Structure 1
Amino acid sequence: TVEKRPREMMLRREFASAVGYLNQIFAEENHLNFIHWDFHKFAKSKSANVLAVLGAVASEALDLTGFYCSGKLINVKKRANLLSRTSTARDTTLVDLRANSGDFARIGNGNEILNTFISKEKELEFRQQSRKDALGYTGPCFQSGFLRTNCIDCLDRTNVAQYAYGFAALGRQLHAMNLTDKSKVNPDSSIAAALMDMYQSMGDALSQQYGGSAAHNT
């Protein structure tokens, strides 16, 4: 867009220059990726699909940065059923082994005590790992970067972009926790509507703070 009074063009130029300078200092794997996109101009087109474009940006960013997930048992329902069936009996713990002096009293010497203790420890670990394997378990994954949105004059457009990015991340997070079969959430689902409401409330709160009124939602 050609501005009569240069504002965004100047900001974009200086911002790109700053990013370029930082990338000269950072290692290649830590480089910043700067994307300049005229949201307002693009949205004027009748065939424009703003969320599709923002979703593509979010997908690329998530591929680069990853996201945090602590890991979770795959089959939650199966785990719940298993726990209900075994609620009257629990696995032996380290506390149990140390507290059960009768086991040690029947052992002849220190080496036998140690070997018995190690054997029980291995048996415990095997049972616990077998349970995890039966249910399925995903380990943790970590985030190594972030995606930032800057809009010079419109909080609404910033909030739309943030929603698109959050929506893409939510799909991957739910999939990583094995709560969904796909890494994308249906945009017409109830969880998508709940996420939209959350971002709208956040936008209104920020708009009240900066401008004294709710977001315009334009």
Structure 2
Amino acid sequence: YGSPILVLNLVKKHEKKKQEYTLSEEFCGALDYIKQFVPDDNNIQYLAFDMARANRSKHRRVMPKLDEIARRYLQQTGFFQNFPLLVNDKQYFYDRENAIKLTPYETFFVQTGVARVNCVDCLDRTNTAMFAIAKCALGYQLFSMGLTDSPHLQEDSSVE
């Protein structure tokens, strides 16, 4: 898919026993090592989100935060579409603050980059983050086909 490579690290950062934290530090070191050999135009972007800690906080804003991350990721990678936009408001995809940057090639758009989610032996966190990214992509795809009024699927959307 090309670049950027967007790495979302869900490993715990705050623990009494520094188990996941230690792995996270080593993972960051490995990424830094790899980055020195990767050309700037094939960049690797790293973001850490201690999802377990956010879930324990009194506000429990895990899904809204993951939705925000997913929108930012999709703005950078775009998505594949092999037909022209069917919505009247094509500017939504180009000019608005939360719009996806799509790369037009005649009548289709290509995805340029990939999101990678990292966690330690925990499918719950990984699956939840990937669900948020997939839901965001689905929202933009449905909107681009003219099937929804907005690219943002609400939590209580019947599409889910």
Q: Return the TM-score normalized by structure 2.
A: 0.72
Larger relative contact order, structure 1 or 2 (CA cutoff 8 Å, min sep 6): 2
Equivalences for residues 1-218 of structure 1 within 5 A = 1-72=13-84, 74=86, 139-192=107-160
How far did residue 4 of structure 1 move?
A: 4.2
How far did residue 6 of structure 1 move?
A: 2.8
Structure 2, gaps ≥5 residues long: 1-12, 88-105
Amino acid at match of 2:72: E
Identity of aligned residues (%): 36
Indicate the structure with greater strand content: 2
Structure 1, gaps ≥5 residues long: 76-137, 193-218
RMSD, matched Cα:
2.0
**Aligned partner of residue 169 in structure 1, secondary structure:** helix
How far did residue 2 of structure 1 move?
A: 4.2
CA gap of 1:55–1:2, structure 2 versus 1, over 3 A, is closer
**Aligned partner of residue 178 in structure 1, secondary structure:** coil
Q: Paired residues, what number?
A: 130
Q: Return the TM-score normalized by structure 1.
A: 0.54
Query: Which ranges of 4 or more aligned residues in structure 1 deviate by more than 3 Å?
Result: 1-5
How far did residue 72 of structure 1 move?
A: 4.7
How far did residue 180 of structure 1 move?
A: 2.1
2:77–2:114 CA contact under 8 A, matched in 1: yes
How far did residue 5 of structure 1 move?
A: 3.6
CA gap of 1:23–1:187, structure 2 versus 1, over 3 A, is same
Query: What is the CA–CA distance in structure 2 between the aligned matches of 1:5 and 1:45, rounded to whole Å?
Result: 19
Larger Rg: 1
CA gap of 1:48–1:190, structure 2 versus 1, over 3 A, is same
How far did residue 52 of structure 1 move?
A: 0.8
